[in-house]
Amino acid sequence: MWPTIGRVTPVDVTPPLLQALAGKHPATKPVWFMRQAGRSLPEYREVRRGTGMIESCLMPDLAAEITLQPVRRHKVDAAIFFSDIMVPLTLAGVDVDIVAGVGPVVAEPVRTASDVRKLVAHELGDTSMITAAIERIRAELATTPSGDASWTPLIGFAGAPFTLAAYLVEGRPSRDHLAARSMMLSDPESWDALMAWCADLSGAFLTVQVDAGASAVQLFDSWAGSLRLPDYTERVAPWSQRALAAVEGRVPRLHFGTGTGHLLEQMAQGADAVGVDYRTPLDEAAARLPGVPLQGNIDPARLLAGWEALEPHALDVIRRGTAAPGHVVNLGHGVPPETDPEILTRLVDLVHTS
């Protein structure tokens, strides 16, 4: 059984999200949005005013408030824990900052075998603020109806090992990740040591969230789409599986990546469900992944194109999702910051009544 929430009496109805992730089609289709915790919401911009991204993630009251805002406004079927893929690195003592207009910037990029040896001596530090935030979130979610259920699941979150390694090696966002891919090919021993450390860090961060009460987790791989299938299979997939294995059997595990249509079969290994980005139709993904619940995959650009462009596309995504044993409606990437919050609320209503 999935964990119950606080002192609340165990519910008779499993939330739609957890039904779908278990390979069922609930009466109410579950929907949530990647990057829903903020970005497009004016209340998010207000509470975060003057506070840096990583700092916001490490303030329990603020992280809890931001996590809950989209649930209150949109009535989505899951909360996604407000965090960032850089947070575990920060908690492990890595000097990283999120620079406006640039993204994550690592003060000392990891480029040599010596750099890797120095890095892997770091361990995940104090995570009490993560536990405190989740406890606050659970207290409200236990009394927030969603669909046919009497509580709303919280999804834990961590960056996948390759994405963490890519930022560590490149030092900042990169279009092609040449330095990371070069290390992978030229120094496989150091690469494997780096990836093992990243996998264990992500796995430990997921474990902290599940221990605190997360009902599901998602491993997010921003940059794996830059890899050839053979390189992903040999040098990356085992480490993503290692990260996911940290919470195996405890909660459903989602694995999502951008531009990863050619990697879906490998990404399904070690996961309970696979997120599909907007490039791959869900019925095609379902045919390639028989028996695997899917999540996705509304094109985020449709949120900015108006309801006339969004509605038929969303209905088509829902129709194609019936080919999978379970389907969680989501975007095929994150919510654009320019999105009108009202269109997200309207989209939730459409999904719930379809």
Which residues are identified as catalytic? 35, 39, 48, 84, 167
CA dihedral 197, 105, 175, 124 (to 10 degrees): 20
| Cβ count within 10 A of residue 186 | 9
- The one-letter amino acid at 225: G
Reported in sequence order, the residue ranges of 94-198 that DSSP labels E, i.e. its strands, are: 96-99, 103-106, 154-159
Indicate the burial class of 308 (C-beta count within 10 angstroms; 0-12, 13-18, 19 or more). Answer: exposed
Helices 161-170 and 188-212, axial angle in degrees (round to 10): 120
Beta carbons of 169 and 183 less than 8 angstroms apart: yes
Beta bridge partners of 99: 103
Find where tokens 């910051």 sit: 337
